[in-house]
Chains A and B, each alone.
Chain A
Amino acid sequence: MIPAPFDYKRASSAAEAISLISEYGEDAKFLAGGHSLLPLMKLRLASPAVLIDIARITDLSYIKDAGDHIAIGALTRHHDVEYSSVLKEHVPLLAHAAGFVGDPQIRHRGTIGGSIAHADPASDLPATTLALGATYVVQGPNGTREIAASNFYKGFLESDLAADEMLTEIRIPKMNGAGWSFQKFNRRAQDWAIVGVAAWRRGSESGVALVNMDNTPVLATSVSAALASGGSIADASQKAATEAHPSGDNNATAEYRTHLAKVLVRRALETASA
C-alpha cells in the first residue's frame, strides 16, 4: 500500500520545523520515526498534503540528568530510551516500558515524542509518562510552554498541542527508589495492549495509569487516593477503572477490560510494593 501523494519538506531545526508547519497549516504533519503516521497514511486514514520530516533534528535526541528530573529529547528513539543507563538508574519504569513498544525494528525508528504527540490511548508511553507525572515541553511560533501530562490528552488521538506547535522535550521526575511495575496484557507479543498498567509506589505516594481503558490514557487517581489513605492493594485495585470509560472491540468487551484493569493494577501494585 502506497500513501496518497504529499509534498515532502525537511527541517533541520525546531525553529525551521515550526516555521514550515505555520506556513502549511493543518494540511501538514510532522514526520519523526513515522511508525504511527505512515501506517495511517498507508491505510488512507490520514492523507496530509505536506509532511515535514523532523527526524534529522539531531539536537532533539538526548537523555539528560537535569537534577530532580530526567530530560528526554522528543526525537529520542524507543530503543535509546529502553537501553539508557541514565533512565535505568533514575526512571527504570520508563526504560522498561519502552521495551514493550512494538518490536525491535519499530523501536529502532519510533520516537518517544512521536508516540506522545500521537496521543494513542493504546500506546504504552503516553500512559507510562502520565503515571510518572511527566511534563511535556512544546515549542510554537511564540516560544515554549510546559504542559503537565495530566492536562495533555484531550481525546482519541487528540492532545493539547496546537497545529503549529511541536513537542520538543519530555521531563520525568526521578523515581528516587520507588517500586514500579509495567503490566501489558495482549495476545501477541508485538501488539498494542488490550489493557496495560504503569505503576510506581513509594511509601504513601503512588502513580497508576492505564493503557487502552478510555479514549485517552487514564490516571487512576482513585487507586492512589485509596493507597494514600491506608487502603490495601486488594481494595485499591478494585477502584482501578473508576476514572476510565472503556469501550469494547474485537479483543475485549468493556466489562472484560474493567476486569483486566483491576487484576493488572493489583499485580502491578504487588510488584511495586515488593
Chain B
Amino acid sequence: MPKIEIAWCFALEKGDLRLYFVREPRGGNVKIKITVNGTDTQGDVEPRTLLVNYVREHLGLTATNIGCDTSSCGACTVHLNGESVKSCTILAVQADGTSVTTVEGLATNGVMHPMQEAFMQNHGLQCGYCTPGMVMAAISLLNENANPTEQEVRIGLEGNLCRCTGYHNIVQSVLACAGKK
C-alpha cells in the first residue's frame, strides 16, 4: 500500500466553513533514464515531475518554454522518439527509456537545422517565445508530410499558438524548409 499521511484543512465553500481531510500520498522518487539531445541523462524524480520541468530544471535546458501549461499553446513542444509532444502534459517517468530532442539538440557543430535557418531567413518569429515549440512542431510535421500545402502547414501547426499572431511568416518558414518557396 502507498504510504498515506492524513492532512486536514478548513476551507470556505459556498459560505460554509468545512473541514477537509486530505489523504496525501508520499510515494518515493523514481529513477529514470532519458536520452536528451543524444546524451544519456539520469534522474531521481518525484513521479509528478513534468517532462518540461525535468528538461528545464534538472538538466538546465531552458530553451523549451512553458506557455499555457494546459496543453493548448505548444510552446513546450519537444520530440519524444522523433515525434512532437507537449512536454507540459507528460510526466518525466512516462518518458523513461525514451529519446527526447529539444531545440538545443537541433544544431550540429554550430550549424543550424534547416528549419531553424528557414525561420531566421523568413523572419518566422517576433517575440520568440513560441519559436522553440514552433520549430519542433514544424520538423515533426515535415517528417510526416515532406511536401505539405500551405493549408496543411496551417492545420499541422494547429497545436501551436503565436500570441504575436505572426503566423504568416511562420507558415512561410515551414514552406521554405520544405523547398516550396
Contact = CB atoms under 8 A, between A and B. Distances in A.
A245 B16 CA distance: 31
B137 interface: yes
Interface residues of B, number: 40
Given A5-B27, A104-B84, A105-B84, A35 B140 contact: no
Interface in A24-40: 24, 27, 31, 34-35, 38-39
Interface in B114-152: 137, 140-141, 144
A34 B2 CA distance: 21
A31 B96 CA distance: 14
Contacts of B156: 104
B72 interface: yes
Nearest to B47: A8
B89 A8 contact: no
B158 A190 contact: yes
Interface stretch (A46-54, A90-98, A206-214, A219-227): A46-54
Contacts of A105: 71, 74, 77, 84-86, 137, 140, 159
A49 B23 contact: yes
B25 A7 contact: yes
Contacts of A27: 2, 23
B103 to A, nearest CB: 15
Nearest to A55: B94
Contacts of A4: 24, 48
Interface in A98-113: 102-106, 108-109
Contacts of A43: 70
B155 A189 contact: yes
B89 A2 contact: no
A173 interface: no
Contact of B72 (A1, A5, A38, A190): A190
Given A6-B27, A104-B137, A109-B90, 9 more contacts: A1-B69, A5-B24, A5-B46, A8-B27, A8-B30, A8-B47, A105-B84, A105-B86, A105-B137
Interface of A: 1-8, 10, 23-24, 27, 31, 34-35, 38-39, 41-43, 49-51, 53, 55, 79, 102-106, 108-109, 189-190
